[in-house]
Amino acid sequence: MKFMIAVDCEGVACVVGEPGGSLTRSLNMTFAREQATRETNAAICALFQSGATQVVVWDNHGEGANLLFDQLDSRCEIVLGTGFLRRFPRLDASYTGVVMIGYHAKAGTTDGVLAHTYCSAAYRCIRVNGAEVGEIALDGAVAGEFNVPVICVVSDQHGCDEALQHMPWLETVATKEGFGRHCAWSKHPSAVEREIEQAVEHAVATLTEKKPFRFDLPVTMELQFTSWSRCLKAMIRRSGWRLCQAKTLRKTLSTMLEWQC
């Protein structure tokens, strides 16, 4: 059994960033990197405990080099950096499942801690088939193209609720409850790590209930940008995307593998 753990940083315990900038440049980032590493280790441990033969960790926040790699469980392999042509590099149908750690709610979520959808400077929101979606669903649908289910999502409460709307069968661990973009009532980091172990073990024990997630075909995506200049630059750079309304590009995709954030 092979698993991939996709790790973002905003959704881990006791991480809220600070107003006026990205998490990456905040004082809270040092702790975010440490805690993302510990939460990832909890998931790795539970996966091997449950019979995994291979666990690949994909560090996907910002520039993709956030985890304290030497402190990760030495049984895992690590995918890092930027420039991959698609989400979930090299994930294929040989994988049994995906675990998401540190994920966050979609752009515009009220009281979602650090809520955004991919690059907050670029996208005001992303819609699929007319509905606003976030990274949990978009990434889940990429894994779904290979028939690989997301089995567990670790995020703030709003991110967990969002995950369950799309994939009601998966396990969730809510790390904290947002009171605003930069404030939260968080569980203790150690308590979250214990919950992750239990949730991931339960997720593997109930694998037959977990389903790959797919959007209804054809997938019509709309990218609403924060500015005209970002929108026009993207239109020049990306093939097949057409302007459909102010600052918004639309394309109908035959597969989510065409999606590059």
Tell the burial category of 248 from Cβ atoms under 10 Å away from its Cβ (0-12, 13-18, 19+): middle
- Closest approach of Zn ion to the CB of residue 53, in Å: 29
The helix (H) or strand (E) run that includes residue 161 is: helix 157-166
**Distance of alpha carbon 99 from alpha carbon 97, whole angstroms:** 7
Is 193 one of the binding residues for Zn ion (CB under 5 A)?
no
Binding mask 121-160 for Zn ion (x = CB under 5 A): ----------------------------------------
**Distance of alpha carbon 207 from alpha carbon 174, whole angstroms:** 20
The interface region with Zn ion, picked from 7-15, 31-39, 147-155, 162-170 by CB under 5 A, is: 7-15
Site for Zn ion in 33-92 (CB under 5 A): 61
Alpha helices in 171-210 (DSSP H): 189-205
Among 5, 6, 8, 142, binds Zn ion (CB under 5 A): 8
Closest CA to 88 of 34, 151, 7: 7
Which residue's CB comes closest to Zn ion? 61
- Closest approach of Zn ion to the CB of residue 8, in Å: 4
| Beta-sheet strand order (sheet of 150-155) | 77-79, 54-59, 2-7, 97-103, 150-155, 171-174
The interface region with Zn ion, picked from 8-16, 24-32, 89-97, 139-147 by CB under 5 A, is: 8-16
**Distance of alpha carbon 217 from alpha carbon 205, whole angstroms:** 31
For Zn ion, the closer of residues 88 and 241 by Cβ is 88
Is 116 one of the binding residues for Zn ion (CB under 5 A)?
no
Binding site for Zn ion (CB under 5 A): 8, 10, 61
